[in-house]
Amino acid sequence: MEVKISNRNVWTKSNLVQDQIPYRCHIKKGFILLIALTFLLSAIVYISDVSDILPNTLYTKVVNKIQSYYVVIEFPFTRDNQVQQLNTTQTTNVAITNNTTSDNYHVAYPHNYQFILDEPDKCLKQNPFLVLMVPVAPQQLEARKAIRSTWGTETNVQRKSVMTLFVVGLPGGADSNKTQQELEEESREHGDLLQSNFIDTYINLTIKTMVIMDWLTTRCPQASYGMKIDSDMFLNLENLMTLLLDPKTPKQNYITGMVMWNTPVIRNKGSKWYVPEDLYPEPNYPTYLLGMGYVFSNDLPPKLVEVSKDIKPFNIEDAYVGACLKRLGVGPSSPPDPSQFRSFMSEFKREEFLRVITTILGSPKQLIEFWKDVKRSV
């Protein structure tokens, strides 16, 4: 409506003669059509990329609605704010792009990589029941600080030891040397950083996930459970521990979280989640757990590492883990209460956050604010 009024004012000021009115109407119709087409194109772009901006907006709501009818699509809860896209000139040999094939994509088998920063004796000292492994970009210091001041501070839950570690790759970009020095200082201060020698990019999340499994296999086999959880998540450890200590919860070959069924592989080369057929030829992924947060019995990491030698890697990390599980004959388990693994909440309601296990948040600041509110005395 505002556009029409604005156009009407412009035409009045132009003092057009009467015989120009048909031409004017033609221009107005064309202008309106152009606006409509522009809006449609913008909407398409918005729907495809909005999760990179705000994960709890319309896109997520639409996807959740689609999920409720079991027509599931791949969508990005492993977001760019988890592992930032770095200088692509430094990732040519370790990343797959829309125009490349498996020939120049590093295999995900983790023994191809070494730890630069490590805590090899940490599990021997703490003997954890549960290890929380947090993949995070090297530059995301604020996310690590927020976790260290919230759920990462909980080292004893229901009389069970919990340990939190952050996993990063190599920084890229013009400030990579400075970032590396800062990571080394942070590691000395906190003793909770693991770094492997692959370039830390969104596209290399599969490598990062398999490195996580390798660390649990080689450094922490005594733990009962592990969890891969993104750095922008709220985690209610009391509820998670209640689940793990339930006598009905399996102690072996167990993995649970938000289960994804019949997810189609995206073949659109313009998509961030494009996977070429030579990397994964099937039209649908096997059943898998959404990468934002899943928990597993700690007998699975060595099995996943071993089978990954024979599973061609592709760049959708959570689906790749699903492919490895399928080869092992292990099916992901739905949690007793699936609503405890939430994709998002449209608003903060304390009673809801008291009930969930995980949900996505918008920022480190939000995590701190919500955590304080959830933990306050009633």
Residues 299-355 have pLDDT tens digits of 999 999 999 999 999 999 999 999 999 999 999 999 999 999 998 887 889 999 999
Specify whether 232 is located in the same domain as 321. Answer: yes
Specify whether 48 is located in the same domain as 92. Answer: no
Higher pLDDT residue, 63 or 336? Answer: 336
Specify whether 92 is located in the same domain as 48. Answer: no
Instruction: Give yes or no for residue 239 having a pLDDT over 80.
Output: yes
Tally of domains in the chain = 2
Q: Given this model, what pLDDT does residue 304 score?
A: 97
Residue 149 lies in a domain: yes
Specify whether 191 is located in the same domain as 293. Answer: yes
Residue 67 lies in a domain: no
- Among residues of the chain, what percentage have pLDDT more than 90? 64
Indicate the pTM of the whole model: 0.74
Instruction: Give yes or no for residue 131 having a pLDDT over 70.
Output: yes
Dist CA 67 CA 87 (whole Å): 35
**In the structure encoding, which two tokens stand for residue 234, read together?**
């709220």
Q: Given this model, what pLDDT does residue 241 score?
A: 98
Residue 183 lies in a domain: yes
DSSP, res 152: G
Residue 72 lies in a domain: no
Specify whether 11 is located in the same domain as 115. Answer: no
Q: Given this model, what pLDDT does residue 346 score?
A: 79
Cβ atoms 119, 150 nearer than 8 A: no
Please write the tens of the pLDDT for every residue from 139-169.
999 999 999 999 999 999 999 999 999 999 9
Specify whether 98 is located in the same domain as 38. Answer: no
Residue 68 lies in a domain: no
Angle at 367 between CA 363 and CA 371, to 5 degrees: 170
Residue 79 lies in a domain: no
- Among residues of the chain, what percentage have pLDDT more than 70? 71
Can you give the residue range of the structural domain that contains 133?
Answer: 88-375
Residue 165 lies in a domain: yes
Dist CA 211 CA 293 (whole Å): 16
Q: Given this model, what pLDDT does residue 2 score?
A: 37
Mean pLDDT estimate for the chain: 79
Question: Rounded mean pLDDT of 96-106?
Answer: 39
Specify whether 190 is located in the same domain as 324. Answer: yes
Cβ atoms 340, 360 nearer than 8 A: no
Specify whether 176 is located in the same domain as 314. Answer: yes
Dist CA 275 CA 139 (whole Å): 27
Specify whether 158 is located in the same domain as 228. Answer: yes
Please write the tens of the pLDDT for every residue from 12-55.
333 333 333 333 334 344 445 555 555 555 554 444 444 443 44
Specify whether 20 is located in the same domain as 115. Answer: no
Domain CATH code at residue 370: 3.90.550.50
Question: Rounded mean pLDDT of 78-95?
Answer: 31
Cβ atoms 259, 106 nearer than 8 A: no
Specify whether 30 is located in the same domain as 93. Answer: no
Specify whether 234 is located in the same domain as 354. Answer: yes
Question: Rounded mean pLDDT of 244-255?
Answer: 98
Residue 267 lies in a domain: yes
